[in-house]
Amino acid sequence: MRVRAYIHQGILREGLRDKLHLNPKSFGEDSEILDDLAAELPSWRDLATNQHGPFDVEHDRLAKEKLARLSETSSKLVLHLLHYGKTEATELMNKCQPKEQFNEAIQQARREGLVKDSASGNPSRPGTLYFWEVNPSFEIALRELLS
């Protein structure tokens, strides 16, 4: 992680602040910070893309392939789950258009490993509630691909 720290010339460092190795850049006027940042920030532009290792690239490729195999309805359900998080199955089915495609669409996303289901009891009524959510191992890749 790249960090840029600044310290005003009139501030003395003492105690723990003197031991931190942030190497703050000394400044006298606020405009010096803006000038320095204008020169420094362009070198930070590609930091996020440079941090992707072979695993990340392969994981993104795999997520893209899985998404390409989904129907439009299934893709929309995955997108909904990305935006709203874990959702009760009946509520998710009500968001699905057309509703009659819900079961096939959600199962398709499940077979691809992009979503997972869970169940929990509801103390206020007998029976079990079923939930759907994006598979956490694909969440970051899906956010990048679907944003």
Mean pLDDT of the chain: 84
Return the pLDDT at 25: 81
Q: Show the tokens assigned to 34.
A: 């803006």
Task: Look at residue 89 and tell me whether its pLDDT is greater than 70.
Answer: yes
Strands 25-27 and 6-8: parallel
CATH of 54-146, one of 1.25.40.340, 1.10.10.10, 1.20.120.1780, 1.10.760.10: 1.10.10.10
Q: How far apart are CA 3 and CA 91, in angstroms?
A: 44
Give the pLDDT confidence of 2-46 residue by residue, as tens digits: 777 778 888 776 666 666 666 778 889 899 989 988 888 887 776
Return the pLDDT at 5: 79
Give the pLDDT confidence of 46-56 residue by residue, as tens digits: 665 545 566 67
Q: Are 75 and 104 in contact (CB under 8 A)?
A: no
Return the pLDDT at 12: 73
Cα–Cα nearest to 108, from 82, 72, 137? 72
Return the pLDDT at 114: 95
Every domain of the chain and the residues it spans: 6-49, 54-146
Query: Where do runs of H (alpha helix) occur along the chain?
Result: 16-19, 30-40, 47-50, 54-68, 72-84, 89-95, 102-111, 136-146
What is the mean predicted confidence (pLDDT) over 77-97? 92
